[in-house]
Structure 1
Amino acid sequence: MRRVVFNQKGGVGKSTITCNLAAIAAAQGKRTLVVDLDPQGNSTQYLLGAGVDVLDATLADFFDQTLNFKLNPRGTKDFVVATPFERLHVMPSHPQLEELQSKLESRYKIYKLRDALEELAKDFDCVFIDTPPALNFFTRSALIAADACLIPFDCDEFSRKALYSLLANVEEIKADHNRALEVEGIVVNQFQPRASLPQKVVQELIDEGLPVLQPYLSASIRIKESHEQAKPMIHLDPKHKLSQEFVALHDTLARKYGT
């Protein structure tokens, strides 16, 4: 199962959701891969911590290789890095991805990620793809490569307006490039149950028939500590309320697809 976590709006928790769901999948026994397509590299930093300073190969190297013929190219597995967490691996990001984007787009390398993940299909039970906060080459590559799309949503009116455009963009990718792609659901993040606006906005999405997932993810200072220590919540504080919400959300998705 390949899931892409995507929203064109920044700051909605894409990397946090990607890494925590992936960490839970790995902790539950699944061979799990995170693909970090965001040049900011937040997922890479979150999962590797100080290990980002000694990387031998990143996704920038992978995509650069597709632009240049080499007699002995690196295999796809060479771009996969083990994290400190058992069964959890990452294809790390690099700032150079930003520079490569226009070249990759002009050379129509949009299917290279899909092909690479097909090569790795026997090695991993599930894949989570983190994306930039924009509908660019890397995000389109991810949507083409994925089976399902998770949409983080942070409960404000700007996010709601952006949501409709996002859903239309996903449908266009589905129609043109990936008939199997489905919007798996909207992940409500940083939810504050005592505030009236988040409750109102989320309920309106539900009333419109949009696939809002349960449970909602609570706002918590603990997640910042999780980032700082480079430990997903299931490893930092497994009994914390937010950790349990992530587990429940993961299990909801797993039951839906049997993965």
Structure 2
Amino acid sequence: MRRVIFNQKGGVGKSTITCNLAAISAVEGKKTLVIDLDIQGNSTQYLLGSKVTDADKTIAHFFKDNLGLGLFGGGKEGLESAIHETPFPNLYILPSHPELEALQSRLESRYKIFKLKEALEKLEGYDHIYIDTPPVLNFYSQSALIAAEKCLIPFDCDTFARESLYTLMRAIAEVKADHNQGLEVEGIIVNQYQKQANLPRQLVEELIAEGLPVLEAKISSSVKVRESHSDAQPLVHYAPTHKLTEEYRALYLEIHS
């Protein structure tokens, strides 16, 4: 199963959600791959403890191959050769690299938008694939939406996030209609939720009333997230019995039920 975690609004927890769901998947015995398409490389740093400096061992290598700039020139071999083991059993990552930014215009002009989908359809051996995206609808996030089977949308509870959500849903619907009819919005993940506060609760209730696919499991705010980032350990490893870890477990079970 290929899932993309996407929102055009920054700071909503895409990378944190991607890595923590993937880490739980791996703990559950599933061979799991994270693909980091965000130039910032937050998922890469979260799972490896540092960013990868060699562009030929990152997702940039795969895209260079498809422009004829890499060593293999075919995409599939380049994709596999850039996958890294993480320190956690069953968990792998295809890291990001800043070179993605310079490649983007060339990839767009040569219409390489389907190459990631084609490569992932040939990639064997992974039970679950989670794709982290940049906080903008650009070549890389569109490639991810085309390559994915399901889309998860992080939502932090404020009025601006709600307005962005409507724009985002329209954008996903357009990608689905034009390029990937099998794409399903699996659900909206309510993140940084404060259940005692009136505004978050009201916003969530209104989204549900409008028929939007809000997932039941909600992720609270906690300093444990920043601590786990700093220690480069997803919560299931850093704080396995913490309330926030249990919320992520509930989210994982909900989307895999």
TM norm structure 1: 0.95
Shift of 1:56: 5.4
How far has the Cα of 1:50 moved from its partner?
3.6
Verify the 8 A CA contact 1:76 1:119 in the aligned structure 2.
no
**1:210 alignment partner AA:** L
1:210 paired with 2:212, answer yes
User: 2: CA distance between counterparts of 1:170 and 1:211?
Assistant: 14
Contact 2:61 2:78 in 1 (8 A): no
Alignment of 1:179-194 (within 5 A): 179-194=181-196
Distance, in Å, in 1 between the alignment partners of 2:55 and 2:143 is: 23
Mapped partners of 1:101, 1:231: distance in 2: 31
| Residue 159 to residue 68, structure 1, CA distance change in 2 (3 Å) | same
CA RMSD of aligned residues (A): 1.4
Partners of 1:210 and 1:189 lie apart in 2 by 16
- Hey, which of these two has a bigger chunk of strand by percent? 2
**Is the CA contact (8 Å cut-off) linking 1:5 and 1:151 kept in structure 2?**
yes
CA spacing shift, 1:70–1:227, aligned 2, 3 Å: closer
| Deviation by residue 1:94-120 (Cα, 9 ceiling, x = unmatched) | 011111111100010001110111121
> Which residue of structure 2 aligns with residue 67 of structure 1?
67
TM-score, normalised with respect to structure 2:
0.96
**Which one-letter code corresponds to 2:213 in the other structure?**
P
Contact 2:236 2:245 in 1 (8 A): yes
- Map 1:11-26 to 2 at 5 A: 11-26=11-26
Structure 2 residue aligned with 1:33: 33
Opposite residue 144 of structure 1, the aligned amino acid is I
The runs of at least 4 consecutive aligned structure 1 residues that moved more than 2 Å come to 50-56, 69-76
Are residues 12 and 71 of structure 1, via their aligned partners in 2, closer, same or farther at CA, if it must alter by over 3 Å?
closer
Structure 1 portions without partners, runs of 5+ = none
Q: Which residue of 2 aligns with 1:144?
A: 146
The one-letter code matched in structure 2 to 1:171 is: A
Deviation, structure 1 residue 31? 0.6
Residue 57 and residue 208 in structure 1: after superposition, are their counterparts in 2 closer, same or farther (change >3 A)?
same
Change (3 A) 1:165 1:215: same
Change (3 A) 1:192 1:112: same
For residue 220 of structure 2, give the secondary structure of its aligned residue in structure 1. coil
Instruction: Give aligned-pair identity as a percent.
Output: 59
Structure 2 residues not aligned, in runs of 5+: none
Establish whether residue 169 from structure 1 lines up as the match of residue 171 from structure 2: yes
Q: Which of the numbers 101, 104, 108 marks the counterpart of 1:101?
A: 104
Match of 2:115 in 1: 112
Query: Separation in 1 of the partners of 2:132 and 2:250?
Result: 20
